[in-house]
Amino acid sequence: MSDPSPLIAELPAGAIPGIALVVKVKRRTARMRACSEMDAKAKLCAGHLKRWFTAPVAVTTEFGAELYRCEKCHTIYLPHPEEQPRTGTLSW
Ligand SMILES: [Zn+2]
C-alpha cells in the first residue's frame, strides 16, 4: 500500500526542541486518524494523530496554527484542506 499522505517538508534535526531527529511534515488525508509513516522495516507506525497545541512559534509561523502530531514518531501533520477542525468533546 502506498502512503496516501503527501510529504510537505522535512524539519532538520533539532528544529523542534527536544527532538534530535529529522521530523517530517505531511498533509493529512480526509478523516485520517492514524500515522501512515513507515519505519526502517517498512512497518506502519499507526500512532494516533493528536492536536499539537505546544508547537514552537517557528513551526506555526511556517505551517499554521492547526497542527497535529503523531504520538509515536512525532511526524507533524497539517490539516486536510476540506476538513473542519474538530472541536469540543470529539476533538483529538
Ligand atoms: Zn507515526
pLDDT in tens, 5-56: 899 999 999 999 888 999 999 999 988 999 999 988 999 999 999 999 999 9
**What's the CA-to-centroid distance between 89 and ligand 1, angstroms?**
23
Asked if 35 and 70 touch (Cβ cutoff 8 Å), the reply is yes
> What pLDDT sits at residue 9?
96
Q: What is the CA(70)–ligand 1 centre distance, in A?
A: 5
pTM attached to this predicted model: 0.83
Per DSSP (E only), the strands in 5-78 are: 7-11, 23-27, 49-51, 68-70, 76-78
For the chain, domain boundaries: 1-80
The per-residue pLDDT for 52 is 96
Ligand 1 center–CA 87 separation, angstroms: 23
More confident residue, 17 or 85: 17
Q: What are the CA-CA distances from residue 25 to residues 2, 37, 54 (Å)? A: 17, 11, 16
